[in-house]
Structure 1
């Protein structure tokens, strides 16, 4: 990208260097892991598959640093009831599946997508995830995709479904070039399913209990088989429910791998009585971060795991971990809007260069770590404050989530993210929120950020967490590796943690 002022949608930056710090909207101021799948790159998969996932933030861990997704809430009808779901309307402060602030017609959705594409050049994917089931409310889903693809032919289309109605639309999916589908599969055993699903509606009948779960299971397996046979990449979502399906998810992981799923995303149950779900109201708890990681780790070697999911709302807009939906409510979207492809094209060109630079930096850092650190040395967990772009580019006080990386002589691996309320509010720190952040970072001895004040730095140190801001705006993986090498080289008595 040449020097001089560059305009990408609402972003105006002077250079590639400035652009890397300006990619996530209003607050933007100041990888390689286990194998392939979500953490893979072009060396880990065939070129055709890489071409399909490289710009999809949900199917590629690398892509989620650079590309945004958008969900449009056009499919409110659902054919099953889940004990963890309550599709409440107008809950803009909640970030969980099924929640929306506006339900749209296909025509409204198309206008909104064009407006977002013009303002957020990172947009690469349009998904329909409800707030009901995209395959059951198929007429609205299909019409939305038709209208959008006519205006933005290069946008990736994907949908999420429980799989019950999806086999009825497999030919339409192929004809519309929908090559990414997410299926929610929480069980193989109908007895376990009966504890999760009170009822389903199928073939003009309402079914309950084990019979309902048996039919749902059979249709989900049929959906997975049909999608794989037609060359559609499938991500399987599973909600981890302690005491109900936690151990069973290892079997689910093995089976979806056997049937050809591309990724398996094991997500924590969100269980809060305020949400009004059956599980929330009856006291069913969600898993701890350690319990979630234990199940994910136990599934290593099975279906490839996605670990960077944010359990997005059904109307989410922006990078993963970010929701700019309130900037694009229908009252703010013009009645007439024309699509301008220039910003998105320029963004993709910049990302292509940035990816090469980042991969070279990661390779150099990995080589240095292998040379300086013995293979038997214990790994280190490091939290990172970032707004995207694969860089450490966020002030500690502004972070509402922390990306957790694990590093040892084998390299740097993204393992999960942890959420907490941001420490700074209205320009001042909140001690109660800082205490929450410290609890959130339990077991993580280092945090990297673009900047941090003396007071929170001291409080973190008192809790055994070293805050480092000397790697501001560096690539994440090389910075994490450098910190690891420095800690291994330093005498134990000189370490903060």
Structure 2
């Protein structure tokens, strides 16, 4: 079935009252820190990029999408836009796109990215018929970019100041050029930040137009507390209108953007419905692979009261389930850990030990066991606190971000640690 490109409500103003979109929040990590961004805050009454009430695995995302399409049959677009950056989470992003394309061959697919790590995935995006990609490009001049970006993390190395801006801008422009070489529709978002880049947006427009960008979205910056730019006022409507008028000489303008959340769903401009948010919450409580029968959670604990032991140091694990009738967690049994040593063989044995567990809770975990367990459909959750509070909260779909450590999948700490 041919893709109906005109049905994309973000790229075609005539479609936005008829066709809906859904953002699948499968990409929590980010590889840059913008001075206007703080994803720690999540109010359901606000629309801004980078916030999501829940996070989903690719399998959970497909389950949620099926439920969402039943509730809202006018959904024509599946997008991935965070809450971090899709290509700071390439495995999750690409697997989600593969699953959706297989299940919904007629669905439009799109991603929104900062562009830093886009290049290695453009060929597969084209193969999957991802029809639309948005890149946020806030500066062409590295001196301006250095004011906007606190750091950029690329190939496990941190970059700051002019060096960071040069790296990011170079990757963005190269990515835009390659997208157009493969016939993918490209939208550029530019955040208007008064006193920082408002004088520079025309240069951005002229440059991206020369590389083939299809449409420009000049977005007013959103003032967010606890950011470097929290004392900068948002641009006036007059400033935004004037910039849109000037840049329209180079590119068509998107003027109906609602600064969508990373879990936005439905018609642009409408708030997510309670029914849809319940479906999102239900999906987040399922095993990472929803078809698996995984009723339990494992816990690394020194004394059996707190989650307070590193995954690799535990000599036994406590297994918990959930009693839906009493709405409480229940202890199942204790399982001895595999013997130490043996490299990945130990973690593979641990994955077998947890074959009926959707996740394991510990106060710390190394990269190797996390990778092996994740590949087996077992989520590694790094947190600290009372076991019953954590277990009950997870099974009930409650917000337990206050228990997670700064390596958590839920939010960017702003330091660059763990945002690979």
Structure-1-length-normalised TM-score: 0.55
For residues 63-462 of structure 1, the aligned pairs below 5 Å read: 63-88=15-40, 90-273=42-225, 276-280=226-230, 283-324=231-272, 326-328=274-276, 329=278, 330-332=280-282
Kindly indicate whether the alpha-carbon contact (under 8 Å) linking 1:157 and 1:178 is maintained by their aligned counterparts in 2.
yes
Kindly indicate whether the alpha-carbon contact (under 8 Å) linking 1:89 and 1:100 is maintained by their aligned counterparts in 2.
no
Q: Cα gap change, 1:117/1:187 in structure 2, threshold over 3 Å: closer, same or farther? A: same
Kindly indicate whether the alpha-carbon contact (under 8 Å) linking 1:315 and 1:325 is maintained by their aligned counterparts in 2.
no
How far apart, CA to CA, are the structure 1 residues paired with 2:41 and 2:97?
23
1:89: how far off? 5.5
Q: Secondary structure at the match of 1:278?
A: coil
1:143: how far off? 1.0
Identify unmatched segments of 5+ residues in structure 1. Answer: 1-47, 339-497
How far apart, CA to CA, are the structure 2 residues paired with 1:67 and 1:100?
22
Q: Secondary structure at the match of 2:66?
A: helix
Q: Cα gap change, 1:255/1:337 in structure 2, threshold over 3 Å: closer, same or farther? A: same
Q: Cα gap change, 1:108/1:327 in structure 2, threshold over 3 Å: closer, same or farther? A: same
Please list every run of at least 4 consecutive aligned residues from structure 1 whose deviation after the TM superposition is greater than 4 angstroms.
Answer: 331-338
How far apart, CA to CA, are the structure 1 residues paired with 2:203 and 2:42?
37
How far apart, CA to CA, are the structure 1 residues paired with 2:270 and 2:263?
12
Q: Secondary structure at the match of 1:271?
A: coil
Q: Secondary structure at the match of 1:130?
A: coil
Q: Secondary structure at the match of 1:116?
A: helix
Q: Secondary structure at the match of 2:129?
A: coil
RMSD: 2.0
Partner of 1:62: 14
1:52: how far off? 4.7
Identify unmatched segments of 5+ residues in structure 2. Answer: 292-420
Matched residue count: 285
1:331: how far off? 4.2
How far apart, CA to CA, are the structure 2 residues paired with 1:146 and 1:284?
41
1:337: how far off? 10
Partner of 2:364: none
Structure-2-length-normalised TM-score: 0.65
Asked which structure has the greater RCO (Cα within 8 Å, sep 6+), the reply is 2
1:99: how far off? 0.6
Q: Cα gap change, 1:286/1:144 in structure 2, threshold over 3 Å: closer, same or farther? A: same
Q: Secondary structure at the match of 1:252?
A: helix
